[in-house]
Amino acid sequence: MTSDRVVVVTGAGRGIGAAIAARFADEGAAVVAADVELPVGGDPRIDYQCVDVSCADDVTGLFSRIIAAHGRVDVLVNNAGIWFRRRFMEISVDEWDRVLAVNLRGVFLCTKAVVDPMAAAGGGAIVNIGSQAGLTVTRGQGAHYHASKAAISHLTKVLAFELGRMGIRVNCVAPGATLPDPSLMPPELRAQIPLGRAGVPADQVGACVFLASPDASYITGQTLMVNGGAVAFV
């Protein structure tokens, strides 16, 4: 299904991004994983690029190299994001700006870079990784994170509308609480989740791959929440 497709995943050095990148590689795609911090070792099938998505020059350089090497981009997964546990009144201006720069400006810059190549190729798919925090108040996350993720869900709609006519679909996957080790979640919080456990990075892969695939060819502008049923009312 994804053989020969060129897939770019940002923030793919670890966590959800790494899991998504690995799955696309499993399916035979040519995968570029961009991150500010690259893993030691890493997956030999994946092309790792050190990039700060909040930096316009870094992003321009990244996509120039990708187009030079592969000639196209079929799928872009905007996953790079940072977060801080921070009460609102304790958020400094610098930290506010930093979170928005990585989480939101990063999506803007990377998306801008793929529009022309995708349009020239007749289409493409963009999957933005948002968050449950973009739709509902999520304890443990700072207001800057919430705001950036809400913006991503809404930006997804505008992009879907503007880019739809070029054959580019844009959707968003909104993870719930995701931990490298689900047993880290206290039992009283686990009990509030219908499927009885915290999410792990692998849980987000299916939705992302689906939305990027031809099976979702009539789906655009949507935010799909993947959270074990923790949140459903939005």
Partner 1 sequence: MGRLEERVGIITGSAQSIGREYALGAATEGAKVVVADIVDPAPVVAEIEAAGGEALGVTVDVSSQESTEKMAAAALERFGRIDFLVNNAALYGGLKVKGWLDIDVEEWNRVMAVNVRGMFLCCKAVVPAMIEQRGGKIINISSGTALAGTPGLLHYVTSKAAVIGFTRALAREVGAHGITVNTITPGVTMSEGTTHLFENSGLPVADRMLQLKCLQREQTPHDLLGAMVFLASSDADFITAQILNVDGGWVAV
Catalytic residues: 145
Residue 10 or 227: the one with the smaller Cβ distance to partner 1 is 227
The closest of 81, 125, 131 to 104, measured between CA atoms, is 81
* Residue 116 and residue 72 in contact, taking contact as beta carbons nearer than 8 Å: no
Q: Does 189 engage in binding with partner 1 (CB under 8 A)?
A: no
How would you write 109-139 as a 3-class SS string?
Answer: HHHHHHHHHHHHCCCEEEEEECCHHHCCCCC
Q: Does 151 engage in binding with partner 1 (CB under 8 A)?
A: no
Q: How far is the CB of 100 from partner 1 (least distance, A)?
A: 23
* Residue 7 and residue 31 in contact, taking contact as beta carbons nearer than 8 Å: yes
> Using CB under 8 A, which of the segments 24-32, 71-79, 92-100, 160-168 binds partner 1?
160-168
Residue 49 or 227: the one with the smaller Cβ distance to partner 1 is 227
Q: How far is the CB of 1 from partner 1 (least distance, A)?
A: 10
Q: Which residues contact 3 (CB under 8 A, 6 or more apart)?
A: 27, 28, 29
The angle formed by the CA atoms of residues 32, 37 and 42, to the nearest 5 degrees, is 55
Among 169, 172, 177, 212, binds partner 1 (CB under 8 A): 169
Among 67, 160, 185, 212, binds partner 1 (CB under 8 A): 160
Rule CB under 8 A: which residues touch partner 1?
Answer: 157, 160-161, 164-165, 169, 193-196, 199, 203, 205-207, 209-210, 213-222, 224-229, 232-233
